[in-house]
């Protein structure tokens, strides 16, 4: 039920007391109802709209590579993790066995914010827990993958907010393998 009531502003009493600089009419209409709101973002200090991020609902950034020879690597599609904390990496090989998975910098054809060129395919390094030396964000040299099914891995926090994220996947399965790769980003 929507109702309005009229209240008196504190400065109206000054007007009634004879102070000429006070407000003429101190009555304020006060709405008495509850209205739901949805927060979808904000305008930053530069005047640009920044929407609230939400997790991807489905896997995207599809990448396919055919006949990757044993011992060779493939760079999957570039993914922008700005505003995202975690990522799920899905890999479907046609040949089962060991595969190396490494988080690397995206291609030098794209800028990182306003920096170009970047050190393409370089291992992403992070300082974690105030350690003295940087370590690889993701560097697994022998992850056993099953053939012809999606093998899904969740990487928590290690590549958060990375603008030019790629995964370098090395085929160590003992034979040629096709690869399909997809990502799902999580806030």
Distance CA(93)–CA(100), nearest Å, equals: 12
Task: Say if residue 19 is in the same domain as residue 106.
Answer: no
* Residue 41: inside a domain: no
Question: Model confidence over 43-74: pLDDT tens digits?
Answer: 888 888 888 889 999 999 999 999 999 999 99
Query: What CATH number is given to the structural domain containing 81?
Result: 2.60.120.1380
Confidence of residue 86 (pLDDT cuts 50, 70, 90): very high
Angle 81-87-92 from CA coordinates, rounded to 5°: 120
Name beta bridge partners: 102: 139, 168
Q: Are residue 98 and residue 15 in the same domain, yes or no?
A: no
Per-residue pLDDT reduced to its tens digit, 107-152: 989 888 899 999 999 999 988 777 678 889 999 999 999 999 999 9
pLDDT tens across 156-170, in order?
Answer: 999 999 999 999 999
Q: Is residue 24 part of a domain?
A: yes
Looking at per-residue pLDDT, the higher value among 126 and 13 belongs to 126
Same domain, 121 and 151: yes
HSE toward the beta carbon, residue 175, CA cutoff 13 A:
6
Q: Does 43 reside within a domain?
A: no
- State the Cα–Cα distance between residues 145 and 96, nearest whole angstrom: 6
């Amino acid at each position: 039920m929507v109702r309005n009531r009229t209240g008196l502003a504190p400065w109206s009493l000054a007007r009634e007391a004879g102070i000429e600089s006070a407000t003429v009419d101190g009555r304020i209409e006060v709405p008495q109802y509850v209205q739901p709101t949805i927060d979808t973002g904000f305008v930053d200090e530069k005047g640009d709209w920044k929407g609230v991020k939400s997790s991807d609902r489905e896997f995207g950034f599809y990448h396919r590579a055919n006949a990757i020879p044993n011992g060779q690597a493939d760079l999957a599609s570039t993914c922008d993790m700005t505003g995202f904390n975690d990522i799920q990496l899905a890999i479907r090989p046609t040949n089962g066995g060991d595969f190396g998975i490494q988080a690397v910098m995206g291609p030098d054809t794209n800028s990182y914010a306003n920096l170009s060129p970047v050190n393409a395919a370089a291992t992403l390094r992070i300082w974690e827990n105030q350690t003295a030396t940087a370590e690889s964000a993701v560097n697994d040299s022998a992850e056993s993958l099953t053939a012809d099914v999606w093998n899904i891995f969740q990487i928590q926090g290690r590549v958060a907010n990375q603008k030019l994220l790629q995964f370098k996947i090395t085929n160590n399965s003992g034979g040629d393998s096709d690869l399909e790769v997809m990502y799902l980003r999580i806030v």
